[in-house]
Chain A
Amino acid sequence: MKHATFDPTSVCALMPMGLIYDDDGIIQFVGPTLGKLRRADTLIGKTISEVFSVRDNGRGTGDGPVPLSTKLYLNFTSGISTPLKGMAIAIDGANLNILNLSFGISILDAVADYRLTSGDFAHTDLAIEMLYLVEAKSAVLEETKQLNARLQGAKVAAEEQAYTDTLTGLKNRRAMDYVLDRMLRGGVHFALMHLDLDYFKSVNDTLGHAAGDTVLQRVAKILLEETRGDDLVARVGGDEFVLVFNKFVDHDRLMRTASRIISRLEEPIPYQDTVCRISGSIGITTTEFYASPSADKMIHDADLALYGSKHEGRAQATLYDPDRHDGGMPEAQIAPSKR
């Protein structure tokens, strides 16, 4: 078959990103869209390798400057590099070759960099469908991201609420169970202090619930001030609190901390034109007492010690003693009474 004439214009209508070069690699004709990337008159007359760096997968054919009939990866050697994909073939008997190009993943940047429009793509090119999909996907993704952020925020708030005592802002029993469980599983040493307010009921009965609430909020403030950031303070009942001291098991120091808390609780709490007076009884245990400590056992033993404090006249702290308390009857308190 003989090519009587070869019309580059019609070839490039079919392949607007195409170009035609001779067997020496000199560019002869440039398709209209490629002409938007680099002006045609700056390309024509130059060699392919002046304009592009060309790589292939090593399996092209032909002796020319561009491997034929294989997938090519090209970049412009100057200006915006715009990675392109391409393939070249020889036109038999014409001493000419066609190199057709496409954007691949650089399409989004290219459309922006060169202000391309839908008319710049061949009718058979899927580029517009691709751009449409990317645009639609991005819109959906953005909505999803915002929804995720809202849901995550709501989840964090709900969890926080579920672990918080709303009156005092302290942690609640559920939070205490969770923290104890984690610490025990992690093998952390800690002390557990059970505090029961003394004379709180009489404040409630004589001055009303609003006074009671004021007292509880004041107690919360004191307890937070007397503990460290990684300790836990939980309100586990009407006037009952549990304090967990992380990695703090020294008996003397625990007893001193307990005494200090009690003396601070005993400072009169102003309410309207009067003051409320309370105190507190404390029972303490530490993980050191147990071969394999459990939350239930420790709470129980702190209770026994607390009962000891109450039994001895309140307003004092008692350290759990396996010998005495497991025997049944609580015995003498350890802390000196402040009253």
Chain B
Amino acid sequence: MHGMINRAIQCFLRDTYGAQAWLDIAENADLGFENFEAMLSYPDQITLDVLGRAARHLHKPVETFLEDLGTYLVSHPNVEAIRRLLRFGGENFTEFLYSLNDLEGRAKLALPDLEVPTLSVESCGDGTFRLRCSSAMPGFGYAMVGVMRAMADDYGALVFLEHSGWMDSGEEVITINLLEVAYAEGRAFDLFGRIGDGL
């Protein structure tokens, strides 16, 4: 798994549960180091070990843990860059949903080695959308639920989200009920923003 993803997991644990919790988990997972490097690549098993140990250490189901991770990625000031990149998806939550179809391609433009899950969004009418998510990392759909929840807040949209299970192919399906596009104010977003602002 790309160092960027491992690094994000580390930052989530550190910023949410404290530096010591991260060190304990790193030691439990037998990493042999204390910090992931964002620009290096690591075997997938390491990522799975860290996630498994973290969930156990925090006494949380892996699903809940991944959902919290997704929320963190969008809402924590330390990783503001991710929220900004996602906001490039569109001016409102509907456009953002459709932009997820392009997310993998956009990420590949920036970092060809980054294994981004393949996402596809389709409208089922009545403000209901279905997001399919296939990833090398099983359970990534739960992280996406967290991401979507936080992005809905960011746009000020009112949504009901549900992880609707797994397809035989391993794809995860998330159902999104968009109840109101402009329910609340949402957070401001300006296309112009120097990297580092707000960090």
Chain A residues near B106: list those with CB within 8 A.
105
In whole angstroms, how far apart are the Cα atoms of A152 and B102 in the complex? 33
What is the CA–CA distance of A105 and B101 in the complex, to the nearest angstrom? 11
- Does chain B have a CB within 8 A of A45? no
Chain A residues lying within 8 Å of B111, measured Cβ to Cβ, are 141
Q: Which residues of A contact B137 (CB under 8 A)?
A: none
Tell me the complex Cα distance, A85–B110, Å: 20
Contacts A105-B102, A105-B105 given: A57-B27 contact, CB under 8 Å?
A: no
Assembled-state Cα–Cα distance A315/B101 (Å): 74
Q: Which residues in chain A, 39-73, are within 8 Å of chain B measured between CB atoms?
A: 57-59, 71, 73
Contact of B39 with A by CB under 8 A: yes
Chain B interface, number of residues (Cβ within 8 angstroms) = 16
Chain B, residue nearest A185 (CB): B27
Cβ contacts under 8 Å, A73 to chain B: 98, 101
Q: Which of B90-148 contact A (CB under 8 A)?
A: 94-95, 98, 101-102, 105-106, 109-112, 123
Task: Write the B80-98 contact mask toward A (1 if CB under 8 angstroms, else 0).
Answer: 0000000000000011001
> Chain B's interface: helix, strand, loop or mixed, by majority?
helix
Q: How far is the CA of A138 from the CA of B111 in the complex (A)?
A: 8
User: Taking CB as reference atom, which chain A residue is nearest B24?
Assistant: A185
Number of A-B contacts (CB under 8 A): 35
Nearest chain A CB to B55 CB, angstrom units: 19
Distance of A108 Cα from B108 Cα, bound (Å): 11
Asked whether any CB of chain B lies closer than 8 Å to the CB of A247, the reply is no
B123 contacts A58, C-beta separation under 8 Å: yes
Q: Does more than half of chain A's interface fall in helix, strand or loop, or is it mixed?
A: helix
A145 interface contact, C-beta 8 A: yes
Separation of A182 and B112 alpha carbons in the complex (Å): 37
Docked pose: A284 CA to B184 CA in angstroms: 70
Once the chains are docked, how many angstroms separate the CA of A104 from the CA of B106? Answer: 9
Per-residue contact bits, chain B 47-64, to A (CB 8 Å; 1 contact, 0 not): 000000000000000000
User: Within B143-163, which residues are at the interface with A (CB < 8 Å)?
Assistant: none
- B182 contacts A by Cβ under 8 Å: no
Q: Would you call B102 and A57 a contact (CB within 8 A)? A: no
B94–A144 CB distance below 8 A: no
Complex: how many Å from CA A73 to CA B27? 48
Contact of A148 among B39, B98, B101, B109 (CB under 8 A): B39
- Sample of 27 A–B contacts (CB below 8 Å): A57-B94, A57-B98, A58-B94, A58-B123, A59-B94, A71-B95, A71-B98, A83-B102, A104-B105, A105-B102, A105-B106, A105-B109, A106-B105, A134-B109, A137-B110, A138-B112, A141-B111, A141-B112, A144-B39, A145-B39, A148-B37, A148-B39, A148-B40, A152-B40, A182-B27, A185-B27, A186-B27
By a beta-carbon cutoff of 8 Å, the part of chain B in contact with chain A is 27, 37, 39-40, 94-95, 98, 101-102, 105-106, 109-112, 123
